[in-house]
């Protein structure tokens, strides 16, 4: 399968998502959060550093649940990146 390359805005949004998730995790260990969310620690680390710029919705939803983040608020925080792309 060939994937369309990500735009700079999409990469920026992925990095912003990673920063938000890392901040929400705080002092909790990455392994514990990944386990609770049902993902691998490697996946969590890649998302947190922006290497996975567009993680699957259910992955983000699981992380939001574990980190007690509201998905609507999270989407709103990342909305400016989508607006830049359409402007």
User: In this structure, what CATH number is given to the domain that contains residue 74?
Assistant: 1.10.260.40
Q: Does residue 68 belong to any structural domain of this protein?
A: yes
Backbone φ and ψ for 63, nearest 5 degrees, come out as -65, -40
- Three-state DSSP class for 46? helix
Span 2-41, pLDDT tens digits: 878 888 888 999 999 999 999 999 999 999 999 999 999 9
Residue 18 lies in a domain: yes
Please give the Cα distance from 61 to 9 (Å, whole number).
21
Q: Answer yes or no: are the C-beta atoms of 71 and 57 closer than 8 Å.
A: no
Q: What is the mean pLDDT of the chain?
A: 90
Q: How many domains in the chain?
A: 1
Expressed as residue numbers, the domain containing 40 is: 8-86
The answer to whether residue 84 scores a pLDDT higher than 80 is no
Q: For the whole model, what pTM was predicted? A: 0.85
Q: Other CB atoms closer than 10 Å to residue 31's CB: what's the count? A: 12
């Amino acid at each position: 399968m060939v994937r369309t390359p990500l735009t700079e805005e999409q990469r920026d949004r992925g990095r912003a998502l990673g920063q938000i998730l890392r901040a929400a995790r705080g002092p909790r260990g990455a392994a514990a959060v990944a386990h609770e969310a049902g993902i691998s620690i490697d996946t969590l680390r890649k998302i947190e550093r922006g290497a996975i710029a567009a993680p699957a919705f259910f992955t983000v939803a699981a992380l939001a649940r574990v980190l007690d983040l509201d998905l609507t608020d999270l989407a709103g925080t990342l909305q400016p990146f989508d607006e830049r792309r359409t402007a």
